[in-house]
Amino acid sequence: MIKVGIIGATGYAGGELVRLLMAHKEVEIKWLGSRSYIDKKYSEVYQNMFQIIDAKCMDDNMEELANQVDVIFTATPQGLCASLVNEDILAKVKIIDLSADFRIKDVATYEEWYGIKHTSAQYIDEAVYGLCEVNREAIKKARLLANPGCYPTCSNLSIRPLLLNKVIDASTIIIDAKSGTSGAGRGAKVNNLYCEVNENIKAYGVATHRHTPEIEEQLGYAAEEKIVINFTPHLVPMNRGILITAYASLTKEVSYEEIKAMYDKCYADEKFVRVLEKDVCPETKWVEGSNYVDVNFKIDKRTNRIIMMGAMDNLVKGAAGQAVQNMNLMFGLKESEGLELVPMFP
């Protein structure tokens, strides 16, 4: 059994991680860390765990935790994992960080966009970006794993096949994104109150959203050039889900069949990326509660542009599910173990 510790177990991503790992046949959860609920029973924080988990929440003592487990998940705000990790810990345990601390390879870019000093910059080059469909072999050998952000995951998987095949002008990419409110976290914030969110949709982080440099960096690897994009996220009144609609100019005339073949080839062996049939647009309701990403495209011959679309659950493939997928790879398990979840509907 893989012994697991979770720091930040009472946030939305942390709670989803617990739910997934409880159904994982190769995992034993040893530590539920939560600075806000120390000594409180986990089932009192999440009543859905009543008579399922009897353990109490503990603190975020990574040094002590590293002596008890094989892998530590950190589902915490930016800066915490970087402040705790050190060589002694990494010599004992693997770390899967769900924050942005090790996603961006340029320290100055991270500090500019996140507004904090990076306290473990010496590990940035070593950290593996955990997008399984792209970095699978590197993930298998990692001891420090940067779990991708939700918007970057959906954006990358929706656009990547066309960049690899150089059929779009990377400088023209525009990404319009929508997310459910769980993406904003579980903290008490006025902007996330029911009356603020219900019957409303709004753009936020316009031209300043922190996932922008992560998306640009990862798309840049696929395009083999530096990319600058327009990325605008929107908050919609639903619990879960991300929908990406991206636009770019075509570099040559292509047919539906040619583009479909690019997507099919790119994801032929990827269990969790589903390329939809012609004219079927991805919808968040068809991926909710699952680790699947649904992608598709539409060629607009009138404007010589292509629309790329993706939908996924921000808490599963966008956070906890992808973290479990990475753990499976890191420990030589079946990649889909604990993740073969049929999307929920309604």
- Beta strands (DSSP E) in the chain are 2-7, 27-33, 71-74, 94-97, 128-129, 144-146, 174-179, 202-203, 230-235, 242-249, 273-275, 293-300, 305-312
Tokens of 165: 């095949």
Q: Which neighbouring-strand residues pair with 29?
A: 4
Side-chain half-sphere CA neighbours of 284 within 13 A: 20
Q: Report the alpha-carbon distance of residue 196 to residue 106 in Å, rounded.
A: 36
Answer for the pair 24, 320: CB distance below 8 angstroms, yes or no. Answer: no
Per-residue DSSP letter, 123? G
Q: Report the alpha-carbon distance of residue 15 to residue 49 in Å, rounded.
A: 10
Give catalytic status of residue 150 as yes or no. yes
Catalytic residue among 57, 81, 150, 154: 150
Q: Report the alpha-carbon distance of residue 306 to residue 309 in Å, rounded.
A: 10
Among 326, 333, 282, which residue's Cα sits nearest to residue 134? 326
Among 316, 154, 327, which residue's Cα sits nearest to residue 231? 154
Q: Which residues are catalytic?
A: 150
